[in-house]
Amino acid sequence: MFWRLILRHSVLLIVILSLLVAGITAWQMNSLSRSLITSNASEDAAFLSDAIRTMRTLYSREIVSRAQAAGMSATHDFVHVNNSVPLPATFSMMLGDELSKLTQSGSAKLYSPYPFPWRAETGGLQDNFARRAWASFQKTPDKPFFEIDTQSGTRVFRYAVADKLSESCVGCHNEHPDSPKRGWEAGDIRGVFEVSLPLERIEQEAAHSLRGAWIITGMLAAIGISLLTLFVRRLKNTTSSLEELNASLEQRVQDRTTEALEHKELAEEANRAKSRFISNMSHELRTPLNGVLGYAQILQRDPGISQSQRENISSIVSCGEHLLTLINDVLDISKIEAGKLELAPHPCDLNQLIHDVSDIVRPRAVAKHLAFVLDVAPNSPPAILADATKLRQILLNLLGNAIKFTSQGIVTLRVYPSNTHLRFDIIDTGVGIDSKAQDLIFEPFKQDEAGKHEEGTGLGLAISRQIADRMGGSVSVTSEPGKGSTFTLEIPYEEVDPDTAATVPLLGDTHRLAEDPKQSFLVLVADDRDHNRHILVQLLEAAGFETIEAENGQEALEQMQSHDVSLVLMDVRMPVLDGIDAVRAIRKDSALQHIPVVAVTASVFPHFRERAFEEGFNDFLGKPFRATELFTIIDKHLDVIWETESSHSSATSEPQASSQLTDNAFATVDPDVAQKLATAVQHSNFTAIQQITESLRSHPDTKPLAEQIAILARNFDFDGLATLAQRLVASGSDA
C-alpha cells in the first residue's frame, strides 16, 4: 500500500522532495553565512579592540607616568592647557578615530555610567546596546558582548568589552578633582569599550567564500533528484510482479489466519471444557469425600473407641487425605496453567510448621533405615508472614522425594536466614540427578530415569517451583549422580510477632467451649445434603455449640428471622434459594446483616472464592475440611473461649515411631508373617495389614515394629511400608 501510493504520486513526491531539499539547503547555507559573518566580524573587532586597549595601556604606563614625573599634567583639554598630555581615555578615542580613518571602516568609543563632567552628554550609556553590554559585564566581565545593529541604514557589528582599571589608572581616577566616583580599585569595571564595524565588506567576503559551497550543494541536489527519479522508474517496472506476489501472500495469510482462528477457537473450547470438567469433578469428588473424612473425624474424637478402632479410623483419614492431596495436585496444576494460583499469606509459627513437617516425614525415613536430621539455625525467625499451607506443601514434596530416592545414609532439612530470604536446604545421599535431567524434572509429568521406577504423577516438583515463584522465591537443585542431591527453597520473608502467628492444631485435637455461662452460641447449618449437615452438627455440638438446621437458603432466612443466630455455615449450591441469593438477602436485612456467614462448599476454585467474598460471605471453608479448620474460622468470627484437650493425651495417644528398630525386632518375625505383610502391602490390603499389626503387638520384641507399621499405614505411606516389608523378608531369609 505504501509503495503503491509512492508510485501513484511519484512526480508530486519528487517536486516536494526537491523543494524540501532546496529549502533545507538554503536554511543551512544562510545559517552558515550568519555564523561566518559573526565569526569574521568578531575576529576583526577583537583585533581592533585589543590593539587600541594595548596601545592605551602602553601610553598610560610609558608616556603619562613619565610626563607626570616631569611635571606635566594629563587632561582631556590638553590642546588648550600648556605643558600637558591627553588622558589615556582621550588618547584611546583619538587613536580609534585615526584607525577608522586609516582603514575606512569602523569606529571606537569609550563610555561609562560614571562619565567625567566634560563627557556627561556623550560618555554615558546612550542606547540599549550600551545598557545591555554594561549589565552583561556585571555578570561575566571577561566575556565580550556583541550584536548586529543598523545605524543610518547600514548594518553594523557592535563589539564591546569591559574596560577595567589597571594599577596605573587607579590613582588618577580616585584623585582627579572632577572624578564622578572614588574608591576605585585595580580590576574594577570603569566602563565599556566598544568597536563598531560595518558589515558590508565582511558579508561580501562571506558570500564569496560560500559561493563554491552553493555550487557543490546544487550539484549534489541535482544528482540526488536524478537518482531518485531513476529509482522511481525502476520501482514502477517491478510493481506489477510485486502486486501479484503480494496478492498471493495475502491470500495465504488470510487462509492461515482463518485456520489459526479455527484452531484457537477449538483450543479455547477444549480449555473451557477441561475447566468445566475439572470444576465439576472436583465438586463431585469433594462432596462424598467430605462425608468420609467428616464422619471419620467425628469417630476419631469419640473417647470411647479402642486403640485398634482409633488406628482403623486414622487409616481411613490418611487414605482420604491422600486422595484429597491427589485432587488438589490436579487442581493446582490447572490453576498454574491458567495463571490463577493464589496465595494467602498470614502470620504463621515457623517453628511449629517445621516440626510438623519433620514429624510427618521422619517415620518414613526411619522405615527405610535412614537418619533424618533437622538443622534449624538459631537466628531463624520464630514467626513469618507466609502462606503456611503452600510452604508446607513444598517442603513435604521435596522431603518426600529425598526419602523416596535415598536407599541409605541421611536426609537433612536445614533452615537458615540469608539476607532478606529464608532458605530451606533438603540434602540427601541418594542416587543423584544427571545434569541434563535437572531442568526436566521441574516440568509437569516429567521424571528422570530414577523417577520412572517410582510411584508418582510427576507433578510435585513442577507445582513446588511454580508456588515458590508466586511467593517471589525459587526452587533449585544441585546434584551429582551417585552422591546425592540438594534441593533449595528460597523465599523472601517478613518476620512478625510470634504472638500474632497462627498455630495449626494437630489433627485430632478436640475443641470444646470453656464452661462459662456467658458463652452461648447458636450456629445455623444450611445444606441440602443430610450427611453434610449431620457432620457439621455433630462436630459443633461435641464442641459445646447449639445448632439449628436448614435445607435451603429460604429456610435459612426463616430460621435467622426467628432465632438469635450467632454464625451461619451455608452451602452455596442449594435448591429453592441458593447460598448466593440467600447471603444477598441477609446483607440487605438490617436486622441480620451483622451476622457472619461462612460459605461451606466443594467448589474451591479461586474465582468462586472471590465471588463468594464479593457477594457478602465473611469467610470460606472448602469441602472436605478438617475440624481444626472449621474451629479456626469460628474462632475468627466469634469471641470464643476454648478448653482444648489434646488427643495426644495418655487415653488417646497415638503410638510414636521409634527412631531405631532393633535387629532383634526384625529377627523375631516369622518369615511367613513377613511374606504376608509384603503381599498385603503390594495389594494395598489394609485389613490384612491391620491383622498382622495386631499379631505383632502381642510380642514385646515386635511391638515397636507394629507401632511403626501402624503409623505408616495411617499416613498411607506405601513406600515406607514396602521398604519395611522388604527388610522383614530379607531378615527372614538371612535367618
The verdict on whether omega for the bond into residue 624 sits within 30 degrees of 0, i.e. cis, is: yes
| Residue 136: Cβ within 10 Å count | 16
Mean pLDDT of the chain: 78
- Asked if the model's pLDDT at residue 369 lies above 80, the reply is yes
- Asked if the model's pLDDT at residue 504 lies above 50, the reply is no
C-beta of residue 665 within 8 angstroms of C-beta of residue 701: yes
- Asked if the model's pLDDT at residue 64 lies above 70, the reply is yes
- Asked if the model's pLDDT at residue 14 lies above 80, the reply is no
∠ CA 71-74-76, rounded to 5°? 150
- CA distances to 420, 594, 639, 684 from 517, in Å: 49, 23, 14, 50
Q: Which residues contact 631 (CB under 8 A, 6 or more apart)?
A: 511, 543, 642
**The pLDDT value given to residue 213:** 67
Among the listed residues 701, 401, 688, the one whose alpha carbon sits nearest the alpha carbon of residue 725: 688
C-beta of residue 544 within 8 angstroms of C-beta of residue 512: yes
Sheet holding 484-492, edge to edge: 371-376, 410-418, 421-428, 484-492, 474-480
* Mean local confidence (pLDDT), 427-450: 73
Q: Which fold has domain 342-500?
A: Heat Shock Protein 90 (3.30.565)
- Asked if the model's pLDDT at residue 455 lies above 60, the reply is no
C-beta of residue 311 within 8 angstroms of C-beta of residue 283: no
User: Torsion angle of alpha carbons 629, 635, 641, 643, nearest 10°?
Assistant: 0
* DSSP structure string for 497-545: -GGG-B--PPTTPEEEE-S-TT---EEEEE-SSHHHHHHHHHHHHHTT-
What digits encode the pLDDT tens for the residues 293-332? 777 777 766 777 777 777 777 767 766 766 776 677 666 6
∠ CA 530-533-538, rounded to 5°? 120
**The pLDDT value given to residue 100:** 66
What digits encode the pLDDT tens for the residues 224-277? 777 777 776 776 677 767 777 888 888 888 888 888 888 888 877 776 666 666
Cell of 379: 537466628
What digits encode the pLDDT tens for the residues 650-698? 333 333 443 445 556 677 788 888 888 888 877 666 667 878 888 888 7
- Asked if the model's pLDDT at residue 446 lies above 70, the reply is no
Q: Which residues contact 651 (CB under 8 A, 6 or more apart)?
A: 303
- Asked if the model's pLDDT at residue 12 lies above 80, the reply is no
**How far is the C-alpha of 511 from the C-alpha of 543, rounded, in Å?**
6
| Residue 103: Cβ within 10 Å count | 11
C-beta of residue 495 within 8 angstroms of C-beta of residue 384: yes
- Asked if the model's pLDDT at residue 390 lies above 80, the reply is yes
Sheet holding 619-622, edge to edge: 546-550, 522-526, 567-570, 597-601, 619-622
Of residues 449 and 312, the one with the higher pLDDT is: 312
**The pLDDT value given to residue 659:** 40
**The pLDDT value given to residue 235:** 65
Grid cell 533449595 in the structure block, residue: 488
For the domain spanning 2-198, the CATH number is: 3.30.450
Grid cell 498411607 in the structure block, residue: 716
Which helix H or strand E contains 569, and what residues bound it? strand 567-570
Which of 117-126, 301-310, 415-424 ranks highest by mean pLDDT?
415-424
Helix ranges (DSSP H) in 545-682 = 553-562, 579-588, 606-615, 627-637, 663-667, 671-682
Cell of 592: 441480620
* Mean local confidence (pLDDT), 175-188: 81
Cell of 223: 544528482
C-beta of residue 623 within 8 angstroms of C-beta of residue 328: no
* DSSP structure string for 93-149: HHHHHHHHHHHTS-EEEEE-SS--GGGTTTSS--SHHHHHHHHHHHH-TTS-EEEEE
Helix axes 686-697, 671-682, angle to 10 degrees: 150
For the chain, what percent of residues have pLDDT higher than 70? 77
DSSP-assigned beta bridge partners for residue 417: 422
Strand pairing category for 145-151 and 154-164: antiparallel
What digits encode the pLDDT tens for the residues 125-171? 888 888 898 899 889 988 999 888 887 788 888 889 888 887 777 77
**The pLDDT value given to residue 645:** 47
Banded model confidence at residue 550, pLDDT cuts 50, 70, 90? very high
Banded model confidence at residue 196, pLDDT cuts 50, 70, 90? confident
For the chain, what percent of residues have pLDDT higher than 90? 16
Strand pairing category for 383-386 and 346-349: antiparallel
Helix axes 627-637, 530-542, angle to 10 degrees: 70
Banded model confidence at residue 586, pLDDT cuts 50, 70, 90? very high
